[in-house]
Structure 1
């Protein structure tokens, strides 16, 4: 299995003939609104361009997975991403909750069945959804929580895409019970002007890495203005704690061969 980090939460998973795009934010730098208004910067998003290799990577895409896309979550599906999917009519796998919204965008929608935790057929293997908690308290109550996905494909490491979530008891229990060989998790510590983190930050990623026996790949960093955690900060924290986290740069490929076994290219 190869995982190509494009930008933020946008990745492409390569498995045999299948090339699965996840949460496409394809806008050019500064094309989208700021997400922090009172920090004195008001940086527009995304804060960086897609890597130069993005066009060639996207040309190979055969399917798309959306973890969440409503209530203004343009960092997981923006207008450019929707237009790209619509023009190519790429099959888009999503939850029933998001299906009508995506159909209204003119996308080729293949919704999963209702119900969490039940495996469903997916590209010759199986997929199931895992509940997310996109923040806590009042901020969390206003968020679109979406789902993570647990994917098992023939001859490939099992893969948990956590979606946008803080580290909850549900996530801890799921990882302990299923021990995915690969976990892809958000690590940017995103927060708005008010309230706490709405995705995992350094401490929660390190805690999850202690729970997980497989490879932990961290993304959702250095691309959106409300995500303060950098890759270098995460690597330094992991080194201090004696754990290993893979934090690929935009455009970088991670090849996963097995538990705790990842090669970066």
Structure 2
């Protein structure tokens, strides 16, 4: 399957999401921010809610001269969290958890963090209902499962860049009689991703595929890219694949 056809299928999958899920739904908001509704439960993923051009580009990355976000939010801030069971913060990098989210989100809303360090940081920002996803959490019929990944290569983590990259989790959403959704998060394709796909056999994959790179390590990304979309298709040709975290998308 050539890449043009592959990405046509990717775009189509997002369009067909509501019919594929029946009442379930994935709403792409901007960048890595999205809403997932499954079995009547709704979750907000990685809220970056700042206005267009709010933040300077990340140093030592391609196009670092560009401020981000590149586009405005397509919905109001209130609509991003309206009716959610909780907000899943896969990690606390600026492009996943920004000052505007910290300022505007209700302080009593449930925030789900990857580990205690992130939870402690979020609590220090005034949030009163922060829980760590150590393994699984249950929301009615919906099970939310933590998955692992690698936000860079072994070489990067052996350098001073490791402190900047840190850890990031993914999540799987399962519910009997509903599609299984795997949100991989900020990760390269590694053994943890393979393990999650083999174990859960997701019907829908949401992949962060901007191929972001640090200029000191030009030969490898810190998240997935086009080759990983092909890999996902080859492993799960019947799955719906949604590619996000690509500059403005």
Q: TM-score range by the shorter chain?
A: 0.7 to 0.9
**Cα deviation, residue 140, structure 1:** 4.0
In the other structure, the counterpart of 2:88 is: 65
**Cα deviation, residue 194, structure 1:** 1.9
**Cα deviation, residue 74, structure 1:** 0.5
CA displacement 1:22-59 (0-9 Å, x = unmatched): 00000111111211457676111112211146654443
Question: What residue ranges of structure 1 are gaps of 5+ in the alignment?
Answer: 224-249, 251-265
**Within 2, Cα distance between the matches of 1:122 and 1:89?**
17
**From 87, 96, 104, the counterpart of 1:76:** 96
CA displacement 1:223-244 (0-9 Å, x = unmatched): 2xxxxxxxxxxxxxxxxxxxxx
2:129 partner SS: strand
- The question of 1:163 aligning with 2:185 is answered yes
- The question of 1:200 aligning with 2:234 is answered no
CA displacement 1:110-129 (0-9 Å, x = unmatched): 42353xxx444234331221
CA separation of 1:111 and 1:211: change in aligned 2, threshold 3 A: same
**From 231, 234, 239, the counterpart of 1:214:** 239
Question: What residue ranges of structure 2 are gaps of 5+ in the alignment?
Answer: 1-23
CA displacement 1:52-81 (0-9 Å, x = unmatched): 466544434342111111xxx100000001
CA displacement 1:82-112 (0-9 Å, x = unmatched): 1222x35221112233211111111133423
**Within 1, Cα distance between the matches of 2:140 and 2:87?**
12
8 Å CA contact 1:94–1:109 kept in 2: the answer is no
**Within 2, Cα distance between the matches of 1:106 and 1:171?**
33
8 Å CA contact 2:55–2:69 kept in 1: the answer is yes
Task: Give me the TM-score of the superposition, normalised by structure 1.
Answer: 0.74
CA displacement 1:3-30 (0-9 Å, x = unmatched): 1101110001123543211000001111
8 Å CA contact 1:4–1:13 kept in 2: the answer is yes
**Within 2, Cα distance between the matches of 1:177 and 1:122?**
21
**Within 1, Cα distance between the matches of 2:119 and 2:228?**
31
- The question of 1:33 aligning with 2:56 is answered yes
1:44 partner SS: coil
1:26 partner SS: coil
8 Å CA contact 2:112–2:133 kept in 1: the answer is no
When the two structures are aligned, how many residues end up with a matched partner? 217
CA separation of 1:186 and 1:41: change in aligned 2, threshold 3 A: closer
CA separation of 1:203 and 1:100: change in aligned 2, threshold 3 A: same
Task: Give me the TM-score of the superposition, normalised by structure 2.
Answer: 0.78
**Within 1, Cα distance between the matches of 2:241 and 2:63?**
34
**Within 1, Cα distance between the matches of 2:226 and 2:45?**
23
